[in-house]
Structure 1
Amino acid sequence: MQISGSIHSFPKELKVSIVFFILTLSVGFYGGLSFVNNTTSMSSKGIETHYLGNESDEDAEIMKFKKSKREMLTVVHNHILSLSVIFFLLSILLSTTSLNKKLKYILMVEPFVSLFLTFGGLYLLWNGVIWFKYIVIISGTLMTLSFVISTILILHQLYLKKAQ
């Protein structure tokens, strides 16, 4: 099986495989977002509490402690490695679409910038640069939007967009 041309002309079995890859990937990605929501309530205070603890808050319902250096390095390491592979694979798929080159370029590069800022930002937050929690929120949101837009466009290009 030789693959050439655009995603429109891929063999049927490859198209089906891409659809299942994106669906499975999406379950994992959105499951991760659900975990983030559960642990941080998707708020700046929640992010701060999750990584820095809340030992000084006597009214806290659940006591949380500052993450250890080992925990932080594990979170940063695992997420940067795995998400960079995910976004690289999506970039390869995007490169085969007939989308506007500028849009493709943005969707191919932006997640890597956001990935660096999100997880680098969590490490900086953990090291006491508290205001970086806002950068984490912005970059995490942009990374999620990139994922959503990329997966929708790839699926659209696979089946709904006719080859030209």
Structure 2
Amino acid sequence: MTYNGLLATFPKEIRLFIATFVVILSIGYFTGLLFIKHTEATSPDGIEENYLGNEEDEEAAVMKFKKGDREMLTTVHTHILSMSFIFFLLGALVWMTHAPKKWKLFLTIEPFLSVILTFGGIYLMWSGIGWFKYVVIVSGILMTVCFTGAASLVLWQCISPARLKD
């Protein structure tokens, strides 16, 4: 089965449908990043404070408390499930683009590793392994780079498929 470049052969209406899906998916993804920025969890210390609280800091502008077991399990569970679906659907579209197989492999496999490292890392950090806050930062950045690359690749090939014909 030939799937490399298959996306460019789809009718204009199907490509518009896919492009619209990827745009809406991207709005949702980047809104999540805005939420992270709003909670000041974009630095290692901010991540730690967001999940472990800052009750000892008498000068904190906003008092935060350590997340409970139930809240942590809900956060980890829902994010791993939803992000897996997001990257599965986006990955299926990436495999239909015209691009080198190694790029596609990276853009479709790495996000799954980052999902586990990010949300598993948050849980492990919350459990007491403090240095996982650095793993969370690196894996979160890699996940976002892969999402942006994959979404851009799919959008570009939905919008300008004529350039891809050999």
TM range (shorter): over 0.9
Number of corresponding residues? 162
Report which structure shows greater RCO (CA 8 Å, sep ≥6).
Answer: 2
Report the AA paired with residue 106 of structure 1. Answer: F
* TM-score between the two structures when normalised by the length of structure 1: 0.95
Measured at CA, do residues 144 and 5 of structure 1 come closer, stay the same or move farther in structure 2, by a change above 3 Å? closer
1:71 and 2:74 aligned: no
**Aligned equivalent of 1:6:** 6
1:163 to 132, 157, 165: 165
Partners of 1:68 and 1:99 in 2: how far apart?
44
- The farther-off stretch of 4-13 and 126-135 is 4-13
CA contact (8 A) 1:107 1:146 kept: yes
**Aligned equivalent of 2:151:** 151
Secondary structure, in 3 states, of the residue corresponding to 2:111?
Answer: helix
Cα deviations across residues 42-88 of structure 1 (Å, max 9, x unaligned)?
11111000000000111111110000000000110110000100000
1:16 and 2:16 aligned: yes
* TM-score between the two structures when normalised by the length of structure 2: 0.94
Measured at CA, do residues 74 and 149 of structure 1 come closer, stay the same or move farther in structure 2, by a change above 3 Å? same
Partners of 1:72 and 1:163 in 2: how far apart?
48
Partners of 1:150 and 1:10 in 2: how far apart?
18
Secondary structure, in 3 states, of the residue corresponding to 1:98?
Answer: coil
Secondary structure, in 3 states, of the residue corresponding to 1:26?
Answer: helix
**Aligned equivalent of 1:118:** 118
**Offset of residue 40 of structure 1:** 2.5
| Runs of 4+ deviating beyond 2 Å | 159-164
How big is the alpha-carbon RMSD for the aligned residues of Structure 1 and Structure 2? 1.5
Report the AA paired with residue 155 of structure 2. Answer: L
Partners of 2:130 and 2:5 in 1: how far apart?
48
**Aligned equivalent of 1:34:** 34
**Aligned equivalent of 1:80:** 80
Partners of 1:32 and 1:98 in 2: how far apart?
29
Secondary structure, in 3 states, of the residue corresponding to 2:39?
Answer: helix
Percent of paired sites with the same residue: 51
CA contact (8 A) 1:107 1:150 kept: yes
Structure 1 unmatched ranges of 5 or more: none
CA contact (8 A) 1:51 1:126 kept: yes
